[in-house]
Amino acid sequence: DDSTLRWCAARIPQTWPNAQQPMSSIRLFKAWDPNWGNDGREAAWDGLIDYAVSTNAKVFIGTQITCDEAADDKAWQWTKELVDKLHPEHVMGLAIGNELELLQFRGADVVPPGCLDNLWERGYLWRKFQQYVGEFDSMGFGAVPVTSVFTGMAMGGDPFYEVPGKGRINSFLLNASSVYGSRVAFTWNFYPYFDPNMQLDEGTADSCDTALHRAGCWGESCSVPAALRNARRKMQRLTGRADGLLWVGETGWSWPLSPTLGSAMRKCPAWSSRETFEDYYAGFLEWDMQIGGGLRPPDHVFWFTMRDSINFGVEEHFGLIATCDSPRCKVHSDAFQPFAYEVYLGLAKLKCADTPLYDGWVQGEDGCRNRCELDDDCRFYGYWPHSHDGKHWCLLTASCTSTATTDLEVTTYEKFAVGGRTSSTTETSTDSPTGAPTGVPTEAPTEAPTDVPTEVPTDAPTDVPPDAPTDAPTDAPTDTPTDAPPEPTTEAPTEAPPDVPTEEPTGVPTGAPTDTPTGEPTETPPDAPTESPTEPTT
């Protein structure tokens, strides 16, 4: 998610939240966002690289395809810089474009006139795909899988979506698999949470037990396994192979309710409840990835997403952790406390004078304690009760062998371990951003307040910058290689095929969740996956 990448890349969990197994891969929608400026980019990358190296993890990294070639090339340059630092042993795959078939539903501010025609009819996607893969290979990544990520809507065709001027997914996948062979991963985002076909229980105004029985589970008759069977069969029809590389780029659930949920499920409290969120994630962790039908299971699956984030100014709640400064998973026992605290220096004009781990402003009264909990070296935290717009001064130290006087009263607490963490984190980059923009000041004053601070620290942005547009569809592949499997002989429909899903989430995670437009064709194939939002963890 964009919050983690931008604000706390040094706080990526080493183990799966609520579990003990190592988390060995993560997906990034992009290397960086130009709306974030350059401050913090190198620190964020350092945190990410330290995580990958220390845990031997791999990164599935993306780069955008939009209606702006100059912006695309700039984003690609950042991606190259990051993968060059990661080296091939820590790069799982490269995604060029994300949910491009959904650009047709975006407004003119994102998709100006002529953009879709350029992307699909004049070959922009296919041209940039070949260009970027060629440059990627020249850097030593020739054995790393390549892909472009699509939603369940792209499976509404014969075998894949093919509508002139809207999305030529079938042509693109045919060309890519013919040129790059088994190196191409077919990557899909599946979100039963947003399935527009889910209905309330008959005769009720707010009950959805039947829909939950189909969507919120992982057995062979459930939504995601059924969607994956459909994907496997269509992949085999296109390539003639039953063992093609199949990845799920995103799946997840929202708690609390996602503002972008537009189906009848919005009226059902159980649909976006903590219990359903917990059950869906628990089922995901327990899933053996079998999809039934005697078909090969997916090769890799990502959960969306690590932390709650903001997409196009809208809060999204698909994260397993709430914010960068949250020391606990969203799902935790009511009484769970990883540490206990005792007052070490009572409310007095006295503070610990040992070398500080952190000496600056925090958001809210819990901000200082949360920082100490997230820092394995922290044993003492001092908290100034006087606030400015909810911001307090905070001092963290590893020891408190000496003290110094202050002009304002401070309370210092000592931290004691009372139980194990459910998910450890790495804190390897001291200069990495400290927290998501929940009001945390961008720069903390250099001295602790000696009196009422004269200026309120500058607020961090109130919204996480929106993710770069979900990579625009780019093109109708130029020429299909002569030895490629023949394209379907049926004429491309002028409208979405009848088995295309009816609607796609509007602003769900792509990286950020990745940006998904609203509206889509009006019918869903019987076995087609539900549509997805877009940005995940594994």
CATH number at residue 263: 3.20.20
Identify whether residues 33 and 121 lie together within a single domain: yes
Note whether residue 20 is domain-resident.
yes
Query: Is it the case that residue 85 has pLDDT exceeding 60?
Result: yes
Note whether residue 527 is domain-resident.
no
What average pLDDT does the chain have?
A: 83
Which is higher by pLDDT, 501 or 179?
A: 179
Note whether residue 286 is domain-resident.
yes
Q: What is the pLDDT of residue 277?
A: 98
Domain count, the chain: 2
Query: Is it the case that residue 470 has pLDDT exceeding 70?
Result: no
**Which two tokens mark 324?**
């960068």
Q: Could you tell me the CA-to-CA distances from 358 to 339, 374, 380 in Å, in that order?
A: 19, 12, 11
Note whether residue 386 is domain-resident.
yes
Identify whether residues 304 and 361 lie together within a single domain: no
Q: What is the pLDDT of residue 185?
A: 99
Note whether residue 522 is domain-resident.
no
Identify whether residues 277 and 357 lie together within a single domain: no
**The last residue of a domain, from among 316, 349, 383:** 316
pTM of the model: 0.76
Dihedral of the alpha carbons of 196, 198, 201, 204, in degrees to the nearest 10: -20
Which is higher by pLDDT, 28 or 516?
A: 28
Q: What is the pLDDT of residue 335?
A: 85
CATH number reported for the structural domain that contains residue 439 in this entry: 3.50.4.10
Identify whether residues 277 and 344 lie together within a single domain: no
Note whether residue 511 is domain-resident.
no
Distance of CA 18 to the CA centre of its chain: 18
Eight-class DSSP state of 171: H
Tokens 């009720």 appear where?
204
Q: How much of the chain exceeds pLDDT 70, in percent?
A: 78
Distance of CA 35 to the CA centre of its chain: 17
Note whether residue 399 is domain-resident.
yes
Closest CA to 270 of 309, 348, 213, 310: 213
Query: Is it the case that residue 64 has pLDDT exceeding 80?
Result: yes
Identify whether residues 139 and 232 lie together within a single domain: yes
Identify whether residues 245 and 124 lie together within a single domain: yes
Task: Kindly state the average pLDDT of the residues 25-47.
Answer: 95
Query: Is it the case that residue 200 has pLDDT exceeding 90?
Result: yes
Domain carrying residue 365: 338-421+429-461
Task: Kindly state the average pLDDT of the residues 181-191.
Answer: 98
Identify whether residues 138 and 246 lie together within a single domain: yes
Note whether residue 492 is domain-resident.
no
Whole-number Å distance between alpha carbons of 46 and 244: 34
Q: How much of the chain exceeds pLDDT 90, in percent?
A: 70
Identify whether residues 300 and 347 lie together within a single domain: no
Identify whether residues 101 and 174 lie together within a single domain: yes
Q: Give tens-digit pLDDT for 504-523.
A: 333 333 333 444 333 333 33
Identify whether residues 261 and 390 lie together within a single domain: no
Confidence of residue 270 (pLDDT cuts 50, 70, 90): very high
Q: Give tens-digit pLDDT for 303-336.
A: 999 999 987 778 899 999 999 989 899 999 988 8
Identify whether residues 443 and 404 lie together within a single domain: yes
Identify whether residues 446 and 382 lie together within a single domain: yes
